[in-house]
Amino acid sequence: METYVILRRGGWQSAADLEEAAARSKKVGDEQMPDEVRWIRSYVLAENEGTVGTVCVYQATGPEAIREHAARAFLPVDEIIAVRDTVIVRPDPAPVAV
Which tens digits make up the pLDDT trace of 30-59? 999 999 999 999 999 988 888 999 999 999
Helices 63-73 and 15-27 meet at what angle, rounded to 10? 120
Q: 98 or 38: whose pLDDT is higher?
A: 38
Which tens digits make up the pLDDT trace of 67-90? 999 999 999 999 999 999 999 998
Task: Say yes or no to pLDDT of 63 above 90.
Answer: yes
Q: In what order do the strands lie in the sheet with 37-46?
A: 37-46, 52-60, 2-12, 79-82
Residues β-bridged to residue 42: 56
**Torsion angle of the four alpha carbons 97, 93, 24, 26, in this order, in degrees rounded to the nearest 10:** -140
Give the SS3 label for residue 49. coil
pLDDT band at 98 (very low <50, low <70, confident <90, very high): low
